[in-house]
Amino acid sequence: MITRRTLMRALMAAGLAVSVGSFATAAEPVRIGFAIAKTGPFVIASDPQMKAYELWKEQVNARGGLNVGGTKRMIEFVSYDDQSKPEQAVRLYEKLITSDKVDLLIAPWGTPFHIAIAPVLEKHKFPVVGATAASVRLRELKPGYIWFTTSAIPDKMAAELTKLCVENKVKSVSVINNVLPFTKEFRTFLDPKLKEAGITIKTSAEYPPDVKDMTAMLTQIKQAAPDAVLALSYPGDSALYAKQAKELSVNAPIQFIAIGPTEAFFAQAMGKAANGIITIGHWMPRDEWKGSKAFDAAYRKKYNEAPDYLDSSLAYISLEVLEQAVAKAGLDREKLRATIAADTFDTINGKIKFDGVQNTITPTAFLQFQNGNLQLVWPTGFASAKVQQKKGWD
């Protein structure tokens, strides 16, 4: 008797046969696994990374596939939703390794997720080039199977931001920070550095992520009239700060907004008023970095918006490192690990080399909006333009 179940099975078997048949002629695709937030509170934050992944896959497949030790193989993603939960990411990376048996792994989104999966990678001796993670806690991870491309680690940023202030003759600052982990960590390193440099903290406040109005905080800052305002924000409150600082004419010549300004919405919301705002970032499209302008253009073409100078570029850089390592070492995990750990890689962010878990070449840097574009303004030598004072909000 033909039941619906047997019919379905027959159809599925037929479908499988067809799909297997169609691949039999070409080289097997390389299966690359990852878990990322596709639902839950981090879905917006993880989006620029996801977009960089998709773009890279499309580009590599258009070039005929990924160079695996000399053979070109098409890329296939095996991706899961970690539901914005690190413990879920742990389970999924375990599953990707043991049950899906993927050929390569790429990074999840966010610091806690990288930290959570590190022991799994260690256990299975599976190398992963990390992308969007930044915390001093990364250095506590056992070096070996995970590396981080970012140079925006809070303690170094605190030191560099202080230097930037000193160089621009800042004697007093107002500091506000979102209480979420990254900005809080940034803050704990920033205050001592500022004091060391003899910079007075005139006003100081912390605010919750669901802040709706900053009038009270900003009125205080306006009265204190500091030389610099350091707003350690997350994307959600970055434009709120800028809009209300504009309304109240908070006119400090140096204004720093930590996370948010590199995302496309910020420039759309602020327009010309964004000019002069300094933010975190160590990437921009520039001639010196081969492929950076092409990446920027391809991203804009595919998604009709600018890449996030922070997260999209970090994700893309991590893929470039992996791609070059695989071209040399193939898919053997030990060889791959040794290559990533020892080699120097050419990326859209210039040369990258790891020492332990960290990228040792890219310096901790800052971007500034100048004439509507983000320019690297810090540190000198790495920068593409000089720091400009913010001249009002018009």
Judged by beta carbon, residue 247 or residue 332, the one nearer another protein is 247
Share of the chain residues as helix, strand and coil, in percent rounded to the nearest 5: 45, 20, 35
User: What type of residue is 15?
Assistant: G
- For another protein, the binding residue among 83, 220, 251, 384 (CB under 8 A) is 220
Q: Do residues 218 and 250 make contact, with C-beta atoms less than 8 angstroms apart? A: yes
- For another protein, the binding residue among 32, 36, 117, 270 (CB under 8 A) is 270
Hey, what are 163's tokens? Answer: 């230097």
- For another protein, the binding residue among 6, 19, 71, 268 (CB under 8 A) is 268
Residues in CB range of 100: below 8 A, 6 or more apart: 31, 33, 78
CB 369, min distance to another protein, A: 14
CB 379, min distance to another protein, A: 30
Residues 365 to 394: which contact another protein by CB under 8 A?
393
Q: CA 61, 31, 113 angle in degrees (round to 5)? A: 110
Question: Rounded to 10 degrees, what is the CA torsion of 282, 285, 287, 293?
Answer: 140
User: What type of residue is 367?
Assistant: L
> In the block, which residue shows the tokens 């977009």?
51
Give how far the C-alpha of residue 69 lies from the chain's centroid of Cα atoms, to the nearest Å. Answer: 28
- For another protein, the binding residue among 140, 208, 294, 332 (CB under 8 A) is 208
Residues in CB range of 362: below 8 A, 6 or more apart: 149, 151, 282, 349, 350, 352
Question: Does residue 252 belong to the site contacting another protein (CB under 8 A)?
Answer: no
Question: Does residue 217 belong to the site contacting another protein (CB under 8 A)?
Answer: yes
- For another protein, the binding residue among 6, 19, 98, 219 (CB under 8 A) is 219
C-alpha to C-alpha distance for 125 and 144, rounded to whole angstroms: 8
- For another protein, the binding residue among 74, 224, 248, 338 (CB under 8 A) is 248
Question: Does residue 54 belong to the site contacting another protein (CB under 8 A)?
Answer: no
- For another protein, the binding residue among 153, 170, 232, 240 (CB under 8 A) is 240
- Sheet with 104-105, side-by-side order of all strands: 75-81, 30-36, 104-105
Judged by beta carbon, residue 98 or residue 215, the one nearer another protein is 215
Question: Does residue 249 belong to the site contacting another protein (CB under 8 A)?
Answer: yes
Q: Do residues 368 and 387 make contact, with C-beta atoms less than 8 angstroms apart? A: yes
- For another protein, the binding residue among 8, 44, 225, 294 (CB under 8 A) is 44
Q: 148: closest CA among 137, 161, 160?
A: 137
- For another protein, the binding residue among 74, 197, 224, 269 (CB under 8 A) is 269
Question: Does residue 263 belong to the site contacting another protein (CB under 8 A)?
Answer: yes
Question: Does residue 212 belong to the site contacting another protein (CB under 8 A)?
Answer: yes
- For another protein, the binding residue among 247, 332, 334, 355 (CB under 8 A) is 247
Judged by beta carbon, residue 270 or residue 367, the one nearer another protein is 270
CB 265, min distance to another protein, A: 4
Question: Does residue 323 belong to the site contacting another protein (CB under 8 A)?
Answer: no
Q: Crossing angle, helix 215-224 and helix 235-247, to 10 degrees?
A: 60
Question: Does residue 287 belong to the site contacting another protein (CB under 8 A)?
Answer: no
- For another protein, the binding residue among 22, 25, 99, 223 (CB under 8 A) is 223
- For another protein, the binding residue among 235, 253, 281, 350 (CB under 8 A) is 235
Count of residues touching another protein (by CB under 8 A): 39
Question: Rounded to 10 degrees, what is the CA torsion of 190, 195, 197, 203?
Answer: 80
User: What binding mask, one character per residue, do residues 161-200 give for another protein by CB under 8 A, x or -?
Assistant: ------------------x---------------------
Hey, what are 362's tokens? Answer: 């890219």
Burial bucket for residue 355 (CB in 10 Å: 0-12, 13-18, 19+): exposed
Judged by beta carbon, residue 287 or residue 394, the one nearer another protein is 394
CB 113, min distance to another protein, A: 18
Burial bucket for residue 9 (CB in 10 Å: 0-12, 13-18, 19+): exposed
Q: Would you tell me which residues interact with another protein (CB under 8 A)?
A: 43-44, 47, 179, 205-208, 210-217, 219-220, 223, 235, 239-240, 243, 246-249, 263-266, 268-271, 273, 303, 305, 393
